[in-house]
């Protein structure tokens, strides 16, 4: 496991991509569905990424930093990681204006979320599904309500066909039904995923 790359395990696709050189022709399919909806006005964005099981959460949410900074906003990135050293190679690649915090224990993670939710105008997260309910509970208890598009979550699922026909991207919703992430996601309002 290399801390500079942020990868865990072996990924044949990433290995192949790493061997490409500038000028190589790539055929890509995507992106599918809907991404994050950021406010137009300058604001305070809190980004949560849980890299313990999948470091790619980090790379998938980092582009939001530039978008908010370009609008005159402020960004705080809270990273849940196995240990602080696992992020040492990634953090220097962020814009210097981004406030970066790390948490290696559940207690640290929850305490920091509690302390930052109150001042943030918007929350974007890349966290596993088992965190959705707890995150919504923290938002409700801290802010006393959950405005539409305040808390958005990138859902990890397979996006195979791109039109939802194969149902590989089916994601359970708070209403007890399923939705297709490649059509309606892969970014959802947190309240759509948990009650």
Residue 126 · residue 49 · CB < 8 Å:
yes
Closest CA to 55 of 92, 6, 109, 3: 6
Three-state DSSP state, 173: coil
The CA distances from residue 162 to 25, 33, 157, 180, in Å, are: 22, 8, 12, 10
Which residues are 124's β-sheet partners? 47, 152
Interval 163-189: pLDDT, tens:
788 888 899 999 989 998 888 889 999
DSSP symbol at 84 = G
Q: Give me the helix-helix angle, 106-117 and 132-143, nearest 10°.
A: 40
* Domains of the chain, earliest start first: 35-153 (3.40.50.80), 156-183 (no CATH)
Three-state DSSP state, 113: helix
Which residues are 99's β-sheet partners? 76
- Other CB atoms within 10 A of residue 150 CB: 19
Q: What's the token pair of residue 141?
A: 């208890």
pLDDT for the residue numbered 30: 64
Residue 3 has pLDDT above 50, yes or no: no
pLDDT band at 162 (very low <50, low <70, confident <90, very high): confident
pLDDT for the residue numbered 187: 94
The model carries a pTM of 0.81
Please tell me the distance from the alpha carbon of residue 13 to that of residue 75, in angstroms, as a whole number. 31
Interval 33-74: pLDDT, tens:
788 999 888 889 999 999 887 888 888 888 999 999 999 999
Q: Which of 12-16, 38-42, 69-73, 116-120 has the lowest mean pLDDT?
A: 12-16
Please tell me the distance from the alpha carbon of residue 175 to that of residue 188, in angstroms, as a whole number. 14
Residue 2 has pLDDT above 60, yes or no: no
Residue 1 has pLDDT above 80, yes or no: no
Q: What's the token pair of residue 66?
A: 């530039």
């Amino acid at each position: 496991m290399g801390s500079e790359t942020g990868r865990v395990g072996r990924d044949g696709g990433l290995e192949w991509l790493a061997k490409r050189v500038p000028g190589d022709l790539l055929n890509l399919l995507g992106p599918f569905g809907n991404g994050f909806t950021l406010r137009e006005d300058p604001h305070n964005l809190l980004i949560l990424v849980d890299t313990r099981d999948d470091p790619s959460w980090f790379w998938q949410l980092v582009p939001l930093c530039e978008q908010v900074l370009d609008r005159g906003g402020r960004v705080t990135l809270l990273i849940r990681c196995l240990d602080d050293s696992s992020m040492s190679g990634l953090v220097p690649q962020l814009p210097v204006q981004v406030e970066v915090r790390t948490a290696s224990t559940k207690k640290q993670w929850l305490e920091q979320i509690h302390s930052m939710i109150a001042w943030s105008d918007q929350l974007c997260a890349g966290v596993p599904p088992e965190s959705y309910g707890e995150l919504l509970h923290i938002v409700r208890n801290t802010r006393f309500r959950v405005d539409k598009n305040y808390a958005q979550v990138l859902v990890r699922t397979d996006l195979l066909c791109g039109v939802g026909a194969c149902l590989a991207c089916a994601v359970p919703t708070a209403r007890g039904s399923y939705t297709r992430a490649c059509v309606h996601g892969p970014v959802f309002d947190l309240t759509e995923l948990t009650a």
